[in-house]
Structure 1
Amino acid sequence: MTDASLPRRATYAPHRQLSGPACARPSARRLVIGIALVALLTFLGGQAVLVIIGLTSADGLGPTLSRIARADTPFGLLAMLFSMGILGLATFGAARLVQKRGPLSLIGPPGPALRQFGRVFLATSTLSAIGLGLLALSGETVAPGLPLATWAMLLPISALAILVQTGSEEIFFRGYLQSQLAARFRSPLVWIVLPSVIFALGHYAAMYGSNAWLIALWAGIFGLVAADLTARSGTLGPAMALHFVNNATVLLFVSMQGQMSGLALYQYPFSPREAEMVASALPLDFLSLLLGWGAARLALRV
């Protein structure tokens, strides 16, 4: 160990709260088995949901699945978001079966996790509110989305759905994958970067056309930021809060038209397929992410 490595190790010392329980069964073979089991359980859970939809939907399975895939109606987007809960449950199951880890070992001590979530939520939601205020003052053209009364009525369940979606992703990528890699490999270049690369690839979407890889790059940087906050804090609270506020902003307040616009109060006058318009918005998205990281660190004092 070099002297230069000591500050980084001290900075990330809280991460032992998550990686410590993983040290009991740290082998790469077990991790591969665990990931495969997560994939299998997620697939089987998804198939079970499809069966339920097929049995209960008056419109039939095909049209209902199309609505969920488009996610341009409240039902479609809510169904898509809640279905991500299968990933979180699958991760809990795989961690229990393969590494003998309980759910809290993937999240961290509940008291600190909740307090850190609250601090980062307050900091990043304030930043998001400022951004939305500046958008309103800028005169940027936006189209109405859901009627205000409908949007407000759906807000509690919409927020819960986003919490399920973002929380499930954090439990798998930062709670499980990152901590298990940290138990096996000492270098943060492995246990921070590798999950972030996988997170980025998982967010590659062909609907963004020529911007698809830039969107994936943004997701990768988000993964690095979330991983860093998790390592500095020792719980998933900060990463969950940052992820929740980010997704709530773009899904509930101002979204692009078309896919995944079903819960938005307002919509930009372009869709994800309009490459030039999306590209023009990306620099601000990257800046907002870095500002959110800074705000979270200030709130946590780390």
Structure 2
Amino acid sequence: MAYERLSEFTAPARAAPDLWRIGAVLGLMFVVVMMLQQLVFILLAALGGQDAVRAVFEAEGTSPGQTLAALFSHGLFAVALAIALRAVHWRGFLSLFGAGAHAAGDFFRVIYWLVPLYVAAIAVLPTEYDIIRNEAMATNRWMLYLPLALAAVAVQAGTEEVFFRGYLTQQIAAGTRAGNWAWMAVPAILFALLHWTASAGDNAIWFVLWAFAFGLAAADLTARAGNLGPALALHIVNNAVALLGVAVPGPVAGLALYHTPFGADAGLIPGLMPVEFALLFVAWLAARVAIRG
């Protein structure tokens, strides 16, 4: 009964439920993304030369502009998904969100609960280290960047949600027998593997396990609500805190107000993970209460 709205959410996928179509979508997305990236490169080179291309897309760049570019670049995958969805399944991009009015309402209800929760967690939870101010982000500069930074986080997190909890969940649920939990497990596993970071060394497994738990929580919220709103809210709030508040130094930490004094491969990461899992669990419960009300 908890997932009675899952059938409503997956209804658009049942017109073309064949699982082979997922592979076709992935292949077409790859081609479209390559084409879009080349188009972006050409436009940047035409407007600002090769220096502009390197400044925006340098692999290890950590400036605010490079971080914005990295986050907004996920939008290319969203565009590719929209094109592939129309070509392979003959349906529109908005069908990935569930009922529009319900999705928007659930999104803002969950945001209303989660923002105070994360703010309280940052203020109350003790830390074993002193955070470091990001020298590239004075407070007034951070505030000026904030609207654009939030939009970039929304694009990045939203793209992941429409693919993993939107497209994959819908297609796997529609293409497998009733009661099969592959619609929850498979996207969560793939989402977790996407978060494998070689630079994290032995800590990479912790980030993968956390991402798997997040994937399960987001799938649960999606199935309970019958739309993508709650999972979108959870993902955006979580990533906004992690990327714009206190970030681990790295390629996408340029917009953060503060940095941790250690990298992703630090030995104290495993000791911090129980708190991260606990916060995710509480956020998941809060989101469930929000959509129940």
Give the match for residue 202 of structure 1. 194
| 1:229–1:38 CA distance, 2 compared to 1 (3 A) | same
The one-letter amino acid of 1:98's match is V
What's the Cα RMSD here?
1.8
Unaligned runs of 5+ in 2: none
Match of 1:16 in 2: 7
Paired residue for 1:34? 25
The one-letter amino acid of 1:142's match is I
Alpha-carbon offset, residue 270 of structure 1: 1.0
User: Which residue pairs with 1:159 in the alignment?
Assistant: 150
Quickly say closer, same or farther: Cα 1:281–1:52, change in 2 above 3 A.
Answer: farther
Structure 1 pair 273/18, CA: closer, same or farther in 2 (3 Å)?
same
1:197 and 1:81 map into 2 onto residues whose CA distance is: 22
- Equivalent-residue separation in structure 2 for 1:82 and 1:160 (angstroms): 8
Q: What is the CA distance between 1:164 and its match in structure 2?
A: 0.6
Contact between 2:70 and 2:252, CA under 8 Å: does it hold in 1? Answer: no
Select the residue among 206, 210, 220 that pairs with 1:228. 220
CA distance in 2, matches of 1:71, 1:251: 15
Q: Which amino acid aligns with 2:64?
A: P
Deviates more, 1:264-273 or 1:155-164: 264-273
Q: Which amino acid is 1:28 matched to?
A: L
Partner of 1:132: 122
Aligned position for 1:3: none
Counterpart selection for 1:180 from 168, 171, 193 = 171
Q: State how far apart, in whole Å, the 1-side matches of 2:28 and 2:141 are.
A: 40
Bigger drift between 214-223 and 53-62 goes to: 53-62
Residues 87 and 172 in structure 1, CA contact (< 8 A), matched pair in contact too = no
Give yes or no for the alignment of 1:286 onto 2:258. no
Contact kept? 2:56, 2:65, Cα under 8 Å: no
TM-score (norm 1): 0.90
| Larger CA deviation: 87-96 vs 111-120 | 87-96
Contact 2:85 2:91 in 1 (8 A): yes
Mapped pair 1:213 → 2:202: no
Q: 1:91 aligns with which of 69, 81, 88?
A: 81
CA displacement at 1:177 relative to structure 2? 0.9
SS at match of 1:173: helix
- Displacement after TM superposition at 1:63 (Å): 5.1
> What is the rounded CA distance, in whole Å, between the counterparts of 2:105 and 2:81 in structure 1?
24
2:103 aligns with: 113
Determine the C-alpha separation between the residues in 2 that align with 1:298 and 1:71. 40
Deviation at 1:18, TM superposition (A): 2.3
CA distance in 1: counterparts of 2:161 and 2:144, whole angstroms: 27
CA shift digits 1:136-183 (9 cap, x unpaired): x76841111211000000100000000011111111111111101110
- Alpha carbons of structure 1 residues 196 and 148: separation in structure 2 relative to 1, 3 Å: same
Q: Are residues 189 and 171 of structure 1, via their aligned partners in 2, closer, same or farther at CA, if it must alter by over 3 Å?
A: same
| Contact kept? 2:82, 2:92, Cα under 8 Å | yes
Specify the SS of the correspondent of 2:181.
Answer: helix
Q: Distance in 2 between matches of 1:235 and 1:46?
A: 30
Aligned residue-pair number:
289
- Counterpart code for 2:274: P
Identity between Structure 1 and Structure 2 (%): 37
| 2:102 and 2:227 in contact (8 A); partners too | yes
1:36-68, Cα deviation, whole Å (9 max, x unpaired): 2222222322232233333334525345422xx
Does the CA contact (< 8 Å) of 1:253 and 1:266 recur in 2?
yes
Distance 1:143 1:92, change over 3 A: same
